[in-house]
Chains A and B, each alone.
Chain A
Amino acid sequence: MLARVNQITFAAPLREAWSQVWFQDKPTSSLEIARMGIGAALVLHYGLATPYLLTFWGDDGWMPRALLANEITDPWQQSVFFYFTAPWQWSAFHAFFLFCCAAFMLGWRTSWVKWAVLIGHISYDYRNPIMTYGVDSIVACLLLILCFAPVGRAMSLDRVREVRSAKRKSLGASPPAFTSPWAFACTRLMQIEMAVLFFFSAIGKLTGDDWRGGDAIWWLFTNSYYYNNDILNLLASQYWLVNVATYGTILIEIAFPFLIWQRRSRPYMLAAALFLHLQFAVLMYLYYFSWVMIMGQMSFVRPEWLSGLGAAWKRKMGEMEMIYDGACGFCKRSMAWFLAFDGLRQIQIRDFRTNPSPIVSDEQMIKAVYLVLPDGRALPGFEAYRYVVLRVPGLWWQVPFFYVPLFSRLFGHPIYNWIAANRSRL
């Protein structure tokens, strides 16, 4: 009996510590940033590879199927391309994969497209394994974690659909933000992945004479691929810069996995890692690699930082009240759709039929929707939307339509006025 009591008192703190490490109830926001960033990188990367589809991955390209046997010896190395026989199948799959990458980036049907993206990415890698390099492995690692994670619950079209659905029932409804202990566990997995990556990258460098001797950066820039005469001139005349850059790289990589976990040192380590990868992007032209690494590092961004950033943005932009016609079905449907993108809940709404505005008269409201600003200004119709899309991050994708010089206003006003005049028939 005493043993059982001891066991219980001993197990409870352990279980609590375990939950503290892995299963805190947190939002998916940092994972969503990684999802969008990696999705965008994949769309761009594989999209630009489209003209080379059959050259890189086709049977008559650089890696004929007979040669592949030299590289693929493990039955666990699988690719959908192994089962294709006609060129149209490559094209169809590539189009489907690009579609899934775009959907993954936007967070549309995320629960299944994420798996299609992972399978597709691995399939490309194993169809021509000798062409791939470090970043392809990093993408696979991060994608697998994102597949485990409940991503698509925020900053996504899935979230927009959920909010829109609730707002169609009641415009004032706002579904609460998703949080989950499993989201935190997956964030933790991504953090560990990045820490392990940094650690072994540093260890690998410490075993080499070039790095230990402080000359690695010099040899790097004499390489034809990274050659830049101005940089080489600077390094040759100020060779201490080579030593600083070489040892600085190792220092950041070795410090990262140890100091990234502490509350005080995390911002500095994140800034150092960001600086390092911006250097790789600018000086070594490793844009794809640097971008993917930065997206992985986003897992260390605390949700509190993001919510603080959102609150600061909301304060800076000020309150916005949109006044609409509650008797118009089309207006309510449009508002539900529009407000669904307002993730920070910056826009307040008022139905002038039930709650008349002290600033805008009912006669004015019959003609157009109005936006009332804290300084008392009231912007009608097109100008109201034009003002909002620039200030609500979820609506930034509409900025190109509203801010084309001359054309937006030239066509926007008449289009809006026509819709407003005919709204009862829509």
Chain B
Amino acid sequence: MNNLRYAKDAALLGIAFVVIVIQSSVIARIAWPLHGPNLILLLFIPWVLSETPFRAAFIGFLMGGFIDLAPPGNGPVGQWALVMTLIGFALANYAERSRDLVQSPLVEVGIFTLGALALLLTWGIIGLMVGDDRASAKYFFQFIPSSLLWNVVLAPFVLPVVRKTTFVRRVRR
């Protein structure tokens, strides 16, 4: 059983890495109106919502670390890892306390939106703290709102898929 679990974890992480690559090589290169959607958030947030805080922190650390190190990452290494560890832990912690998360799609999208907002804001704040030029006013007032808008539009379609993919563990817990 444990072997199966690790295999699935590895597979999900592989998918996450592929999504990160797709985000940088495909999505980011399309000239969207405003800024485009963020597939990483659309995968990461529903995933950690169905995980234990312990595992969610690890998932966030690995995904964030991958974003930090993979091209074309150029910010300080560890910035994404830190943000996604924190947010992963916090979201999983919250989800564990409120069991009715998946009862209503509206609540699910709401939680997702808040999670995404928290993640992007935390990234920006840490960026400000470490003097990252990318954490500019444009990032806070233009990138975050438009990115959220796109993600909220896509969330109703993507979230159930991700939830179903990662659901097994939730039942087992």
User: Do the two chains belong together in a single complex?
Assistant: no
